[in-house]
Amino acid sequence: MAKFRNMLVHIYWKIGGEKVYEMMKKDVSDLEKFIEEVKNYVDR
C-alpha cells in the first residue's frame, strides 16, 4: 500500500479510477487499520 500511496502523491495524474478501486479491494485491511488509528487519535 505504501508504494500505491507514493504513486498517488507523486504521479496521481497517471492513475485511473480502476486502479484505485483495484487497490482498495486488494488492500482493504490497510485502509481499515488506518481508519481505526485516525479514530483513536481523534478520540484522545
Structural domain that includes position 25: 2-43
Please report, for residues 5, 34, 40, 41, the alpha-carbon distance to residue 44 in angstroms, rounded to integers and kept in the order given: 26, 16, 6, 5
Averaged pLDDT for residues 1-29? 73
Q: What is the pLDDT of residues 16-36, one digit of tens each?
A: 778 778 877 777 887 788 889
User: What is the average pLDDT value for the chain, to the nearest integer?
Assistant: 79
The predicted model scores a pTM of: 0.47
Cα of first residue to Cα of last residue in the chain, in angstroms, is 26
Q: Domains in the chain: how many in total? A: 1
Read off the pLDDT band of 10 (50, 70, 90).
low
